[in-house]
Amino acid sequence: MSVRLKNPHHEPDQADNTGGDKPLLFRAWRSWYILVIAELALIILLLAWITGVFH
């Protein structure tokens, strides 16, 4: 995402120090993103299967 600020100096200088940016359970956020997308794919396949089988 390209984000441009009119006045970049308006940003607080301090970084977020209230717990960091580390995900729970996995070592990288990418794993969480893949999990969410994989679950979505699985649900779509499951619903498509239900649509076909129970028709």
Looking only at residues 33 through 52 of this chain, which bind other proteins when binding is defined by CB under 8 A? 33, 35-37, 39-40, 43-44, 47-48, 50-51
18 binds other proteins (CB under 8 A): yes
Largest CA distance in the chain: 61
Please, what's the b/e burial string for 9-35 (b: 16 or more CB within 10 A of its CB; e: otherwise)? eeeeeeeeeeeeeeeeeeeeeeeeeee
Residues that bind other proteins (CB under 8 A): 1-7, 10-12, 16, 18-24, 29, 32-33, 35-37, 39-40, 43-44, 47-48, 50-51, 53-55
